[in-house]
Amino acid sequence: MAEMLALYGSPRRKGNTALLLKKAVEGAVEAGAEVEEIVLRDLEISPCLEIYACKKDGRCVIQDDFQAVYDKVLACQGLMLASPIFFYAVSAHTKALMERFQSLWVKKHWIDKIPYGKREATKKGLFISVGATKGKRLFEGALLTVRSFFEVLDMELWRSLLYRSLDFKGDVLQYPSYLEEAYTAGKELVELIRG
Ligand SMILES: Cc1cc2nc3c(=O)[nH]c(=O)nc-3n(C[C@H](O)[C@H](O)[C@H](O)COP(=O)(O)O)c2cc1C
């Protein structure tokens, strides 16, 4: 399993978040990491169906592509997650994956009885997001969701790269400084993890 995982959460191939995440991956590779890239839109991942069969042993019982992604997410030391803002939230592909980690939440808090907020964050995460508009609160919903997801993973939200006013495919290419920031973040994240 790879030390670093990159999750592409947009349904749009080579869209703005995908171009930014690709740069972060390049930075991480430059720093010497092995990075596995997963494009969520290529996978079959159901949202949580709230059957709570995970209460038995903490594993989700729905047999789809989540099972492989789950193991990879648990095994990585650093996670780079990219999602566009859809209706002030993360994309449905990203959210479906997150919901399935309720099985891990059940394991931690119901089966292993770990009190909330008591586990130290041992892993680091980078979140990349873009939206078309400019509002001050554009990323608030997504950030709450990502923080809560990362907490389940015992992961600190180490850095967020959030860019406004990007809408059409390739818009981000007009901002080389954003792509440079993403590259640097990927590199620094690996340096930190190995540090
Ligand atoms: C279903 C949908 C919902 C969207 N909702 C918002 C929104 O709430 N706020 C916003 O600023 N942009 C919104 N957008 C615009 C996207 O965030 C924007 O096009 C972004 O650049 C897409 O990123 P991508 O190229 O990585 O897919 C929405 C786009 C779609 C398709």
Centre of ligand 1 to C-alpha 11, Å, is 11
What confidence tier does 117 reach under pLDDT thresholds 50, 70, 90? Answer: confident
CB atoms inside a 10 Å sphere around CB 67 = 14
- Residue 181 confidence (pLDDT): 98
* Rounded Cα–Cα distance for residues 111 and 103 (Å): 10
Pocket flag, ligand 1, residue 103 (CB < 6 Å): no
Q: Which numbered atom of ligand 1 lies nearest the CA of 88?
A: 8
0.75 surpassed by pTM: yes
| DSSP letter (8 states) at residue 42 | G
- Mean pLDDT for the chain overall: 97
142-169 pLDDT, tens per residue?
999 999 999 999 999 999 999 999 999 9
Centre of ligand 1 to C-alpha 117, Å, is 32
132-146 pLDDT, tens per residue?
999 999 999 999 999
* Phi, psi angles (nearest 5°) of residue 8: -90, 115
Angle (CA) 80-167-6 rounded to 5° is: 10
As separate numbers, helices (DSSP H) first and strands (DSSP E) second, the chain gives 6, 5
8-56 pLDDT, tens per residue?
999 999 999 999 999 999 999 999 999 999 999 999 999 999 999 999 9
For the cut 90, the answer to whether the pLDDT of residue 110 exceeds it is yes
| Strand ranges for the chain from DSSP E | 4-8, 35-39, 78-84, 123-130, 155-163
